[in-house]
Amino acid sequence: MIHNDARSVTEVKAKLAMVMNVMTKLTKLWKNKSISTKTKLRLVKALAWTVATYGCESWTLRKEEEKRIQAFENKCLRKMLRIPWTKLLTTDKVYSTAGTTPELLTHLKRGKLAYFGHALRIPENSIEAAVTVGLTDGSRERGRPRLSWLDNITYWTGLNGTRLLAAARNRNYWQDIIRNCSQPSQSDVGDVT
Q: Per residue in 136-172, pLDDT tens? A: 566 767 787 778 788 888 888 888 888 888 898 889 9
What pLDDT is stored for residue 193 in this prediction?
A: 34
Give the helix ranges, DSSP H, for the chain.
Answer: 9-25, 27-31, 37-43, 49-53, 63-81, 91-98, 104-121, 127-133, 149-157, 161-169, 171-181, 186-189
pLDDT at 184: 54
Long-range CB pairs of 82-91, under 8 A, 24+ apart, other chains included: 82/30, 82/31
Look up the pTM and report it. Answer: 0.80
Integer Cα distance of 49 and 115 in angstroms? 18
Would you give the distance in Å from CA 190 to the centre of its chain?
Answer: 21
Distance between CA atoms of residues 168 and 117, nearest Å: 5
- pLDDT confidence of residue 69: 92
Alpha carbon separation from 132 to 43, 57, 148, 168, 176 (Å, rounded): 33, 11, 10, 12, 21
Residue ranges in the chain modelled with pLDDT below 70: 1-6, 124, 127-138, 140, 183-193
